Amino acid sequence: MEHILQQLTSLGAEAQRALQGAANQAALEQVRVRYLGRKGALAAILRELADLDPAERPAIGKVANEVKQRLEAALAAQREAIEAVAQQAAVVAERVDVTLPGRPVPMGRLHPSTRILRRICQIWSDMGFQVYRSRDVETEEMNFELLNIPAHHPARDMWDTFYTTTEGMLLRTHTSPGQIRAMRQYCPEPIRVILPGMCYRYEQITARSEIQFHQVEGLAVGRHVTMTDLKGTLVDFAHRMFGADRKVRFRASHFPFTEPSAEMDVECIICEGQGCVVCKQSGWLEILGCGMVHPEVLRNGGYDPAVFSGFAFGMGPERITMLKHGIEDIRYFWANDLRFLEQF
């Protein structure tokens, strides 16, 4: 019995020193296993109780439990001390110096097409035109028939259309249906509006055509609007957009909803009119179509063509962006390639 009591006393003192010397959780766990584990030193001593006289066992068991409780308390205290030291070290290591300057937040960029679209809207707003928003999903009547393009008219071959599952509904092929909506809203007052928006055409995707693209439609209706007003207004726009020295020209063309009709070209920005691949060696680049509003379209919009007249035009921001920046493939705009987009 005396021998076991001495072992317990010696074990308790030795384990206390080992616990106090454990500097981290791993070392502390090793001490626990060595002294308090199922195969540890304390368990080995308690197994000797079976060889003692039954009368001596309670006294030895009491001392063993006291030693075990003291060691478990010391183990818990040392574990808390180690955790406190580790937490303090983490606080010091992760401390934020509030006096340091903040990290700059990288800013996004506007898409090059969006930049030109906003510039176009700004120019026309400065010239007294109101921005008018029209719907992307249109009726077949608005998109074609009220614009002097009746059913089976050969001019419908100019637009390959996305039809919806609803009879008579489609994705607009141009922003021109907005002319009818604007005229019907403001009639009989004179109007000057531009209609920016997305258009959709079922076409083959090439370097110069896409299935979706922006357009900016323009419309002016009044009592004495002439072709001279149209030409002077568009020349002023071209000079504001491309520079006052940029040459422009008008060519006769045909659109069902204007009469007479024309297309407007600017001197090639890439080659300065000398001829290159982009302008097909002509020295000129088309930027928009235009013309005097057809009397039938005016009548469909609610205006009496005997009293009112007007002009209309339509341009593509992507085409103008290509001209201003020398971009040769329209597919770059929708490819989401950062190597292209970050140049702007």
Find out whether 17 and 78 touch, Cβ atoms under 8 Å.
no
Terminal Cα-to-Cα distance of the chain (whole angstroms): 91
Residue 79 has a pLDDT of 84
CA distance 216 to 320: 11
What φ, ψ does residue 274 adopt, rounded to 5°?
-85, -20
CA distance 139 to 167: 9
Find out whether 269 and 285 touch, Cβ atoms under 8 Å.
yes
- Which runs of consecutive H residues, i.e. helices, occur in 225-281? 227-242
Number of residues that this document lists for the chain: 344
CA distances from 51 to 36, 60, 162, 319 (A): 21, 12, 97, 101
Residue 37's SS3 state is coil
Bond prior to 260 in cis (omega within 30° of 0) = yes
DSSP strand pairing (191-200 vs 130-131): parallel
CA distance 173 to 212: 9
Tell me the mean pLDDT per 10 residues along the chain, length 344. 69 77 80 75 70 69 76 81 83 79 83 91 96 93 91 70 89 93 95 94 76 92 96 95 91 93 88 74 87 96 96 91 80 85 83
- pTM recorded for the entire structure: 0.66
Q: Kindly give, in sequence order, each residue whose CB lies less than 8 Å from that of residue 96, ignoring residues fewer than 6 positions away.
A: none
CA distance 292 to 324: 27
Stated as kind and residue range, the H or E segment containing 171 is strand 169-171
Residue 253 has a pLDDT of 94
Two structure tokens written together for 251 = 């060519």
CA distances from 322 to 110, 194, 279, 280, 327 (A): 16, 21, 12, 15, 4
Q: Kindly give, in sequence order, each residue whose CB lies less than 8 Å from that of residue 154, ignoring residues fewer than 6 positions away.
A: none
CA distance 172 to 133: 13
